[in-house]
Amino acid sequence: MAALRGVLEAAVYVEDLDAAAGFYAGLLGLEEILRVEGRHVFFRCGTTVVLCFIAEATRVPTDNARLPVPPHGADGAGHICFAVAGAELDEWRGRLEAAGVGIEADFEWPNGARSIYVRDPAGNSVEFAEPRLWNIEMGDGYA
């Protein structure tokens, strides 16, 4: 059977592309790679791309036959998690706090991995976590 190789892109929905760019590129340091005003801004994050869409614009069917991407969009806050080395989490917390971003949660999971949660300007839940978070056995208290 063919195997999936990982997540190539992840999307969050925003209202303001400039505010999204200020957070994801300005504060987090991701490289902005594509912007279509009034519709989306995309950022490179390692081998993954973070897509920030204005939901109302992406719900409109495309008229571009060469790129027949189906309409999509979401209501309410989404979630994205960035992998961060455990030794760098305190630095990230300080950087976020210095920028006036409130820390919503900072804790250790049952397996000892640490996560920090904040909100982006659109209200999406943004997590910074040690990759070992998912080195778990089901039933380890994650429910």
User: What is the CATH classification number for the domain harbouring 135?
Assistant: 3.10.180.10
Say if CB 94 and CB 83 are below 8 A apart: no
Of 60, 87, 103, which closes a domain?
Answer: 60
Bridge partners of 108, per DSSP, are 114
Q: What's the total number of domains in the chain?
A: 2
Stretch among 26-35, 67-76, 119-128 having the lowest mean pLDDT: 67-76
Q: Do 103 and 47 belong to one domain?
A: no
pTM score above 0.85: yes
Q: Using alpha carbons, select from 46, 40, 45, 35 the residue that is nearest to residue 15.
A: 40
Residue 138 has pLDDT above 70, yes or no: no
Q: Do 80 and 143 belong together in one domain?
A: yes
pLDDT at 122: 97
Does some domain include residue 93? yes
- The pLDDT, as a whole number, for residue 143 is 57
Distance, in Å, from the CA atom of 46 to the CA atom of 43, rounded to the nearest integer, reads 10
Are 142 and 135 in contact, with CB atoms under 8 Å apart? no
- Using alpha carbons, list the distances in angstroms from residue 54 to 19, 102, 122, 131: 12, 24, 10, 29
Q: How many Cβ atoms from other residues are within 10 Å of residue 88's Cβ?
A: 12
| Per-residue pLDDT reduced to its tens digit, 20-68 | 999 999 999 999 999 999 999 999 999 999 999 999 999 999 888 998 9
The residue range of the domain holding 1 is 1-60
Residue 96 lies in a domain: yes
